[in-house]
Chain A
Amino acid sequence: MEIELLEIRNFLAECMPFSLLSDEQLDLLPEQFQVRYLRRNSAFPPADNKDKFLYIVRSGAIEIRDNEDNLVNRLAEQDHFSDCEHFEQDEQRGFAIEDTLLYQLPCKNVRQLRDQSDDFDRHFSDTLSKRLKDAVRRFRKTVDTGMAHMAVEVSNLVKKKPLCLPADTSIQQVAQAMSEKDASSIMLLENEELVGILTDRDIRRKCVANAMDVNSPASTIMTANPFTIEHNSLALNALIEMTKRHVHHLPVTQNGRVIGMLSATDLAQHSSSNPAFIISDIRTAQNIDELVSASRKIPDLQVQLITASVSALHIGDIVSRITDAITTRLIEMAMEQNGPAPVDFVWVAGGSQARREQTSHSDQDNALIISDEMQPEHDSWFEKLAAFVTDGLNACGFVYCPGNAMASNPEWRQPLKKWKQYFNNWINKPEPKALMLSSIFFDLRSVYGSTTLLQELQNETLEQSRKASIFLAYMAANALTHKPPLGFFRRFVLINDGEHNEAFDIKHRGIVPITDIARQLALSEGIPATNTTERLLAVGRTKALSDEMSENLLDALAFIAELRICHQARQIRRGLATDNYLSPNKLSELDRKHLKDAFGVIQEMQNILEHRYQTGRLG
């Protein structure tokens, strides 16, 4: 059958929500449309349209404004605007900003299509929160089985130099050798040929439990002729063989010769994609160079975790824990050099590390809270500590804080009483500029030392902050400084003032606003959590935030964080430096749509804060 308006059909097939229809439905679509022409500056929807329609821009552009004349959206080619679902149809009006050719579909036809197609219907009926949840879930699905990390050859996982002894060695001698080498298994040879393996479990179950003579040869309790695996087999196959054969150890061979032993633990450590490895390397590092080389693995780890479908928020947690480990190891090294601390102290992380939301190569924010017993002469010890640790973190890729919010800055290396003063000033005599800088310190978490020092500070601060209405208003104003984009217009990002850019900063226009909102709400409710997700969950149980808004903000954060970390993973894979600049050109139609939903949630919450605290009056 010839489709007369094939070109129009094909155009519509590219446009949401019609792209959700089947081919057969698309074939019947063009004839249901009407075509209108709007001259630049004429009203949209067209003034003489008596019925209601769903509109698609075929060429040209339309601007939508709310009843207070705020820019809400701009529509370009392929964008749609539906008047069919609006209850208060007068709320959003617009006009053509270019000469525009419009396709319009009567609402009754839209309703028919909704009856005919579930996907099409869902586009209209799904709530914002459902759409956001689906969007987050979709990310998890696209990374296939989550077993990508198993596609590595076993030779990469085996520890070198296998522990081997002749098969006639006594059980006791074998056990001694295993203890010395800290090995859980041993290979037994006869004439240089592998004849069996012996594990901790064999010794326990077959020898000790049966009160067997420990001087018997090991061959009496070994697993003879064990199954072996070739060095170039995939880790996944090794896992399958172990599971099938109920064994925890597989000798690895190369050209018929044994080159090592692969244990279930090796596989497990690899499959959790090595944060445990990296952290163990960090713990045993003897000097800065070893720490640096361990921390170099973080970007790759981040990519592996994404491939293994670990969520962005969990990755933030893992990277923060690694930074904690590096910090701790640096403090230990400093103490090895400079001797023990003269008085109690706690090393605290600020900013993203405190919130457990770091990505590889965030900058460092930290401070030292020292016991009030501190004497002036003690500062040189803490100064040396701070210099050593901040330099070390910088060497490990966590660059110096550009705002100098670090323990190496004497201002942020103070006894508890001084910190109490700081917070007292911030809370009771708030100044917008100082607050903006100090917002780092409203996210603090102990990394090393006497956690009670920080607890005491936080107890006092939270008690004060929840009652300090002016302070809370300033924090609310602070949470409004970073506005999300309105949406997308052609290949540009549409900003509130009508400006558009080719790329946008997903951190400052997506993540920071949510982080700031969560901080303000947590402080207003006296909630001690620092992690944004935990804060939003906790505040969601109070009157400060509705359940629905709490969920929507959480989903928006999860989605935006996911987009950001995937963007950075692509850069790491290509060997580029990571940044936060996303170009709408590179986003799928669906991601653009979900991102717009997420921006909408942030905007709504910012409006709520603006009204609640009348931030406009702060000047």
Chain B
Amino acid sequence: MPSRERTRAAGIASDPGPRSTDHGPLGGRHERPDARAKVAGSTRFVADLALPGMLHAALAVSPVPSARLAGLELAAARAVDGVEAVLTAADIPGKNQVGVVFPDQPLLVEDRVRMVGDRFALVAARTPEAAWEAARLVRPLLEELSAVHDPVAALRPGAPPLHEGGNLIRTFKVVRGDVTRERARADVVVEAEYQIGGQEHAYLEPQACLAIPEARERITIITSCQCPFYVQKAVARVLGLPLAAVRVEQAPTGGGFGGKEDYPSEPAACVAVLAFATGKPVRLVLPRELDMQASTKRHTVVVRHRWGADRDGQLCFAEVETVMDAGAYIGLSTVVAERANASSIGPYRVPAVRVATHVAYTNNLFGGAFRGFGAPQVTWAAEATMDKLARRLRMDPLELRRRNVLDDRRRTTSTGQRLPGPVLASECLDRAAALAGWDEFRARSQANSGPVREGMGIGLVLYGCNLHHGGQRLDRSSAVVILQPDGSVVVRVGLTEMGQGNLAAAQTIAAQALGVDPAVVQVWQPDTTTVGDSGPTVASRGAHMSGLAILDAIRRLRTRLDPVAAELLGCRADEVELAGSLASVRGSPERTVPVAQVASEMAARRIEAIATGWHRTRPRRFDPETGIGAPYEFYAIACQIARVKVDSELGLIRVEEVSAAHDVGRVIHRDAMEGQIQGGIVQGMGWAISEELKLDHGRLANPSFTDYTIPTAADAPKVRITVVESEGASGPFGAKGVGEPSLIPTAAAVRNAVCDALGVEIDRLPLTPPTVVAALGDRHPFAWLLSERRVDEHERLATVDRDG
């Protein structure tokens, strides 16, 4: 195969990197431990598990977004052949409550419907067909109530309140410096309002879980999820059980992206209630349409900006006001808003900052966790505004960013936090620009008058790794390491594999620290009875938090292993080194004994060969009132540059290439790291241009992959990657998370590239063809044909139902 062709379509990473070496597997490309079973089709997802006598669950849900529930007629549902239970709120043994941070969300509706997809009743039957048929026959007696579908309107006086206390859930702020003074100093000021649409996770495996009851005393839940400890708490609450009586085992999980952070607690609570009522195992697999309708989404937001700079391009002030559409329940919305709020300014030095982030209830789709967690929306807005400033200043957008990014000398963020470690914003900008050929592209006189136009744009992000200060109590992790008598190693961590490569990362870290081949290390998915609560697998914290807990466990294991090795080697315990599957004497590498022999000797002597490990993040100062302080422990920076072609007649966008420079600290597993970046870019591109949540009075009008279009192999751009490695990050071997920084800048880079190609500003995401055509206005090639009215029509079609 000619290499040129391969590179063109396959987008080979620029840095081939080492395979696993004598220095250990760190940073190599050894096989992922889960790959062979998955590729052979032998990995058992929840839908592949069945038990004798197992029942199938189905949900009866609301078709309307706002109503009073006067009653339920269940006789027809109960009469369906094969149905064993039809349950309502009154049948829940514990609390009818599944809110993850705030108790505003019942598992089953008692009297008030607040969103399409709210559950009325649970069904268990001997076949899935019977269960869903019965669910369809549940007849709710509804008195429809007025609904609100615009988050801004929801905050106005007189809007119909969803809950007691009104629709404003909370406002977060950052207040720093003297905006009035700085505004007077600014030579250019950009004001904008950005309408940023949400996103569906579109994990390929729908939500699924299986409950196995033991009398009415204990229960095992096997579930596709990111956060088994969330599920454990939710199930314990609805069943009225102590946490220790609820065992949650994470099944292999077919994609998460945040969509399996908070939401899986709901289906798990459903099957748990059915399993307790029937005494039988119960499995639920959501049909795709219901999954897309009822599960959480990336938040739809409106962001208003007023940013100013002096004539040299130095930012003077930034004012940001964001309204987030939480949907009908808080879920994780306040936590998402906390991150959006802290991320609003990006990696820039701004003397005066005012940020306000409001979270509003509406009767729309349920907002929740999604890769980036509020940061992608505010980053999109910030990067759009930076390009607008550059155009006003007639300055190269790359140069404007270079002049304003944080660096080693000026490292204080918009929240007043001094960044730890090397600050690599300029490095990422320059590396991405070199990879993309930024200067050459801009120097080339682009033939940008024809129907197909080319453009290039930048997206830059400063991502706070791990949990926000507000979630610090959850920011700890647990690991268990067992050295088997044959020298193989069992590792358990409390963080989950959902495709991102946490098993590979944990395996690599354990193998590196024990000096053994990764192939002898088996990492098993978590189960709440085998490891401590490690918080959620989110915030790009998986490899970091599991890695540090594993290193702690291995440190403790070595207090027992090293003396045995030392005896076999005839040296002191503090002289033992582990590498290349051998224990050796420091300074005398020829004196060795296989690690496996040490393991066997430990077993023979009945020495404890199991160790636990723990890690918690360092406490930080942060003032939630002013937003000032250290919201995050440390940060990762990423710059992506997109090159696009835009058909200006049809408004179609083709993303040709994305060049990505990522500050990852230290690479743990190179294929997994690249896979995160490549996948994040394509998911971010989908959000940027094609993935539109079309709402019809709170109902998702396009709940299918035909109508909600995620990128295919034919849409994928060429991706070039360069990693900026550095010393000093606090993660395992200095690694930083990459899962979310991979997605966050993409949509911004695409937006800026499209605007560069067309010479217009587009302040609405996604950039669907009608949005692009509408933005061109009288610059559209056929503007003379398209009357004002018809362009309005395009606009209306693009946004129909956003406001109901």
Same complex origin of A and B? no
B-binding residues in A (CB < 8 A): none
Interface residues of B (CB under 8 A from A): none
